[in-house]
A and B are shown apart, each in its own frame.
Chain A
Amino acid sequence: EADIYQTPRYLVIGTGKKITLECSQTMGHDKMYWYQQDPGMELHLIHYSYGVNSTEKGDLSSESTVSRIRTEHFPLTLESARPSHTSQYLCASSPFFRANVLTFGAGSRLTVL
């Protein structure tokens, strides 16, 4: 019954490859977020969007980029993956007027060899 979907769930790729992590939500939420989490560490905000054509960088510097062409879709792209990009990436969304509750996707676990 997940309303926010992330694909792929698991990805193992070689260094230098371009990858896109997909995130889609069916709740009509305006705000969407990408968090990065390493084991035993806090979730770090790397990108967020307040609506179509709006994207901002979060506190944690990331070499990834995002786009928001449609309300429901917020993909994250790494142009050239490196082992330091190995992590779990969590997508989340929230409605504009009740933005203090995030709904998370199941996550995408990326391993770069």
Chain B
Amino acid sequence: DQQVKQNSPSLSVQEGRISILNCDYTNSMFDYFLWYKKYPAEGPTFLISISSIKDKNEDGRFTVFLNKSAKHLSLHIVPSQPGDSAVYFCAASAVMGNQFYFGTGTSLTVIP
């Protein structure tokens, strides 16, 4: 059973607007969440993370929000740029350093 879900396989956004990518999880033991970005023919690269003691983490144009009660996190990219076009994976882990569980990814297209 999938423990991390990304229900939107794709998203298209105009350049300069906000991109919001969503992720839901089912395991209440998860305490660390990450977003990875993947270009075609490359491996995923780490983008931003958040631990369960926070509800927001910001890094430049990227902000991750965590709603523990809803078991939901989201990644906001603002302003979106064409170079942000990629597949974004949400991942979660329980207990520091243990296994990571990944979602199926959301393909973001930023239209110039």
Contact = CB atoms under 8 A, between A and B. Distances in A.
Interface residues on B, range: 20 to 34
Interface of A: 4, 6, 9, 31, 35, 40-45, 48, 58-59, 90, 92, 94, 96, 99-107
A43 B100 CA distance: 9
Interface stretch (B14-22, B42-50, B78-86): B42-50
A59 B99 contact: yes
Given A42-B104, A43-B102, A100 B32 contact: yes
Given A101-B46, A106-B41, 11 more contacts: A40-B104, A41-B104, A42-B4, A42-B89, A43-B44, A43-B102, A100-B49, A100-B96, A104-B36, A104-B45, A106-B42
B43 A105 contact: yes
A99 B98 CA distance: 8
